[in-house]
Amino acid sequence: MVAPVEPKPGGTLRNAFGGVLGFFILLLIGVLAFSIRLFSVIKYESVIHEFDPYFNYRVTQFLTKNGIYEFWNWFDDRTWYPLGRVIGGTVYPGLTLTAGTMWWILNSLNIPLSVETVCVFTAPVFSAFAAWATYFLTKEVKGIGSGLTAATLLALVPSYISRSVAGSYDNEAVAIFALIFTFFLYIKTLNTGSLFYATLNALSYFYMVCSWGGYTFIINLIPMHALLCIVTGRYSSRLYIAYAPLVVLGTLLAALVPVVGFNAVMTSEHFASFLVFIIIHVVAFVYFIKGILSPKMFKVAITLVLTVGIAVCIAVIAILVALVASSPTKGWSGRSLSLLDPTYASKYIPIIASVSEHQPPTWPSYFMDINILAFLVPAGIIACFLPLSDASSFVVLYLVTSVYFSGVMVRLMLVLAPAACILSGIALSEAFDVLTQSVKLQLVKLLEGPLSNSGDTKDENSTAQNDVLKADKQVATNNKTEDVKERPSKKNRKKDKENTEKAPVKSHNEKRLLALPLEASAIAIILLVVLGSLYVIHCVWAAAEAYSAPSIVLTSRSHDGLHVFDDFREAYAWLRHNTEVDDKVASWWDYGYQTTAMANRTVIVDNNTWNNTHIATVGTAMSSPEKSAWEIFNSLDVKYVLVVFGGLVGYPSDDINKFLWMVRIGGGVFPHIKEPDYLRDGQYRIDAQATPTMLNCLMYKLSYYRFVETDGKGFDRVRRTEIGKKHFKLSHFEEVFTTHHWMVRIYKLKPPKNRMKGKTKKPKHTSKPLSGARRDGSTKKNPWQ
């Protein structure tokens, strides 16, 4: 509750206490950011969450065990069987290296924490850092008060909490800190023009490149800002110092990261920076000549320079176009393309479209994730435009681009959150400034009336007047901000009326001061505090209820108390203890990382999704009838098949619900799998109306095998229907383990029979796909035979 009001003293106390107070407030903000993310540990336990974090955790374990050199050369043979994966060269190492370093430091200080603990708490620690970075960034833009407010908002913003609760050990956890810090250093360089900060900026950019693929956002946003500055005539040598070394050093440093490598100079994502690099040199050259020549001579010279410049530009653009056109995907990776054209992924790459966080967000998710910030942001933009500086234009540009990106992909809401926090921090702080100033003024005037002769009051008054003179301009400009912010409330009109009513009554210099009346500003302050409290309440609720679930341990509250579903770990533990070390486990790719990390068994596909064909093979197997699926799995040397089934307890994100994506991805590579075969009149259903193809496919059978024995009817709680085919036997698979709530079911492939019962070895290739239910395995569909 106190949080939004908290920054107030730090903003106004300009005396010696200010610094100390500000420091303590920052410390508190850090503690706040850390502790609000601990709900998951308190409510559940200290575990790693979800899918990708398990992979990062496994990599970190490897790193701490084998050292950095082994890590760079690590070829992982426990995943993507039989292909394997080069981990060292395909992973963004920032997060693992950070956590590994933290663990190493702690251990050398004789603080024996386990790797898992360090991993769990990396994200909260870095969110505290991110809050501090936000403070510095906003301070560079608008001063200390705004900085503190923005840091508080960022510490609490739900969008960021969703990615950085304790246990959510993912790249974004450190990347957001790196992102904000890089922007801060860029602004700092821009404001001071010091090469030192430019160097730091490049290093921080390097850290960002290490951490997250989102670094392309930086390397496109900063050139955009530089270009904006040039176009609007705000070019300065500070801009040159901030930009040019960053491009050279940053490119070199980025090329050092194995996963980026030569992409740093070869792909289109980075070309914008080089183009602006050339432009800024041309502009710098023009300014330089302008400086040493007289204006008259400059006019003559400029034509010469222009012709040369245009020629160079045309040549460069021609080269660029040739380069871009020569590469197959025009030099852009699939995810970047789907950013530019939101419909790209759904049209061409089902595997990107199938991930829910790559889909466009809905309006409620904006409100859920940034809450009141969405309404404060416009006010912040206006506050940034009144005196427009290089720094504030950067913040506005950041906001605009990130709003666009967040509209394309729900995952990038995370990039929007810091921008929204900074701008609403500015808005809130400016509003508080105006309101408290006017309260102060009015109080002084009230006192001035009865005690007009007292020297004490005069003195106070004069200091207040000084204050007012100083703040006069600010107040005048910020009234607008205030108005915009308060527009939704009807208090605004009332306040205006009061203002006009009381204007003649007030003293003669009232008109110049443009201060708000006492009552109105007091009410407005209270309203702002209420607004802030609502935000805090929402954030705490989001942190506690919405975003803390680790998704490997599930809970549900019903009338007879709390139920805990720990089926995933039960299944993985079973695999770990009851199967051979080298057994291969097939599952849909979502569970690949968890299987390798928790069960330590080799998987066929995992969440890395780098090989579409391989995933399509598994998808094909899951959507084929039992026998051909068995053949595919057997050819992949698979011993166990794992399916996730939520029908008994109503767990909605199970394999049956993901099944259509398996069909689509499988059908994308192996055309005999056709999506319409699995749909009845365009509807996906598993009851008696379902198509025979659907009822005979492996996924259906593995999910619903013996399901009817649970309640006698086979009622699926997720689909809310009775299943279509209740009594059937498995011929090629046998059930070996089903967890307590039936959420994970593990099947073993039966060994091949010694005798084929009079069957020909080569099955005929069915020409017509109509008989999809009886389709036999053909040689073509299986690439591993």
Partner 1 sequence: MAKSTSSDVLTLIRSLRSAYAATPTNLKVVYMGIVGSFPFNSFLSGVLSCVGTAVLAVCLRIQVNKENKEFKDLPPERAFADFVLCNLVLHLVIMNFLG
Binding segment for partner 1 among 233-241, 549-557, 647-655, 737-745 (CB under 8 A)?
233-241
Which of 73, 90, 114, 237 contacts partner 1 by CB under 8 A?
237
Ramachandran area for residue 758 (φ above 0: left; ψ -120 to 50: alpha; else beta): left
Ramachandran area for residue 573 (φ above 0: left; ψ -120 to 50: alpha; else beta): alpha
Minimum CB separation of residue 187 from partner 1 in Å reads 16
Closer residue to partner 1, CB minimum distance, 294 or 760: 294
Going by C-alpha positions, the residue among 161, 160, 206, 173 that lies closest to residue 53 is 173
Going by C-alpha positions, the residue among 224, 239, 315, 225 that lies closest to residue 269 is 224
Minimum CB separation of residue 390 from partner 1 in Å reads 12
Q: Hunting for tokens 């956002």 — which residue is that?
A: 217
Under rule CB under 8 A, residue 389 binds partner 1 = no
In the sheet that holds 744-749, the strands lie side by side as 602-603, 584-586, 638-644, 744-749, 733-738
Do the beta carbons of residue 603 and residue 51 sit within 8 Å? no
Partnered with residue 586 across adjacent β-strands are 641
Which of 28, 106, 244, 447 contacts partner 1 by CB under 8 A?
244
Going by C-alpha positions, the residue among 102, 144, 151 that lies closest to residue 12 is 144
For 491, 574, 724, 776, the CA distances from 625, given in Å and listed in that order, are: 67, 27, 16, 8
Closer residue to partner 1, CB minimum distance, 284 or 374: 284
- Per CB under 8 A, contacts with partner 1 among 181-210 are 192-196, 198-199, 202-203
Q: In sequence order, what are the residues at sequence separation of 6 or more whose Cβ sits closer than 8 angstroms to the Cβ of residue 263?
A: 269, 270
Going by C-alpha positions, the residue among 62, 106, 123 that lies closest to residue 88 is 62
A 10 A CB-CB count for 720 gives 10
Closer residue to partner 1, CB minimum distance, 108 or 326: 326
Omega of the bond leading into 82 within 30 degrees of 0 (cis): yes
For the window 396-425, what string marks contact with partner 1 as x by the rule CB under 8 A?
A: ------------------------------
Closer residue to partner 1, CB minimum distance, 203 or 447: 203
Cα–Cα dist 543/556, whole Å? 17
Minimum CB separation of residue 198 from partner 1 in Å reads 7
Minimum CB separation of residue 327 from partner 1 in Å reads 15
Ramachandran area for residue 706 (φ above 0: left; ψ -120 to 50: alpha; else beta): left
Under rule CB under 8 A, residue 275 binds partner 1 = no
DSSP 213: T
Binding segment for partner 1 among 31-39, 208-216, 244-252, 497-505 (CB under 8 A)?
244-252
Q: Hunting for tokens 């008054």 — which residue is that?
A: 461
Minimum CB separation of residue 589 from partner 1 in Å reads 33
Closer residue to partner 1, CB minimum distance, 252 or 537: 252
Closer residue to partner 1, CB minimum distance, 203 or 224: 203
- Per CB under 8 A, contacts with partner 1 among 245-264 are 245, 248-249, 251-253, 255-256, 262
Minimum CB separation of residue 323 from partner 1 in Å reads 13
Minimum CB separation of residue 299 from partner 1 in Å reads 9
Closer residue to partner 1, CB minimum distance, 245 or 334: 245
Decide: helix, strand or coil at residue 645. Answer: coil
Going by C-alpha positions, the residue among 376, 559, 629 that lies closest to residue 484 is 376
Cα–Cα dist 579/762, whole Å? 33
Closer residue to partner 1, CB minimum distance, 242 or 686: 242
Under rule CB under 8 A, residue 240 binds partner 1 = yes
The tokens describing 76, both together, are: 């992982």
Minimum CB separation of residue 196 from partner 1 in Å reads 4
Binding segment for partner 1 among 235-243, 516-524, 562-570, 590-598 (CB under 8 A)?
235-243
Closer residue to partner 1, CB minimum distance, 193 or 763: 193
- Per CB under 8 A, contacts with partner 1 among 278-337 are 284-285, 289, 292-293, 296-298, 300-301, 304-305
Minimum CB separation of residue 391 from partner 1 in Å reads 15
Minimum CB separation of residue 195 from partner 1 in Å reads 4
Closer residue to partner 1, CB minimum distance, 99 or 253: 253
Q: In sequence order, what are the residues at sequence separation of 6 or more whose Cβ sits closer than 8 angstroms to the Cβ of residue 370?
A: 157, 158, 159, 413, 416, 417, 420
Minimum CB separation of residue 197 from partner 1 in Å reads 9
Do the beta carbons of residue 31 and residue 129 sit within 8 Å? no
Which of 106, 228, 265, 355 contacts partner 1 by CB under 8 A?
265
Q: In sequence order, what are the residues at sequence separation of 6 or more whose Cβ sits closer than 8 angstroms to the Cβ of residue 575?
A: 585, 595, 599, 601, 640, 642, 746
Closer residue to partner 1, CB minimum distance, 196 or 610: 196
Closer residue to partner 1, CB minimum distance, 243 or 535: 243
Minimum CB separation of residue 319 from partner 1 in Å reads 11
Cα–Cα dist 782/669, whole Å? 11
Do the beta carbons of residue 141 and residue 384 sit within 8 Å? yes
- Per CB under 8 A, contacts with partner 1 among 582-621 are none
Closer residue to partner 1, CB minimum distance, 324 or 522: 324
Helix or strand (DSSP H, E) at 669: helix 655-669
Q: In sequence order, what are the residues at sequence separation of 6 or more whose Cβ sits closer than 8 angstroms to the Cβ of residue 767?
A: none
Decide: helix, strand or coil at residue 638. Answer: strand
Which of 25, 241, 370, 686 contacts partner 1 by CB under 8 A?
241
Binding segment for partner 1 among 232-240, 565-573, 641-649, 710-718 (CB under 8 A)?
232-240
Closer residue to partner 1, CB minimum distance, 193 or 769: 193
Minimum CB separation of residue 278 from partner 1 in Å reads 11
A 10 A CB-CB count for 393 gives 18
Minimum CB separation of residue 297 from partner 1 in Å reads 4
Closer residue to partner 1, CB minimum distance, 113 or 286: 286
Binding residues for partner 1, total number by CB under 8 A: 37
Minimum CB separation of residue 3 from partner 1 in Å reads 36
Binding site for partner 1 (CB under 8 A): 192-196, 198-199, 202-203, 236-238, 240-241, 244-245, 248-249, 251-253, 255-256, 262, 265, 284-285, 289, 292-293, 296-298, 300-301, 304-305
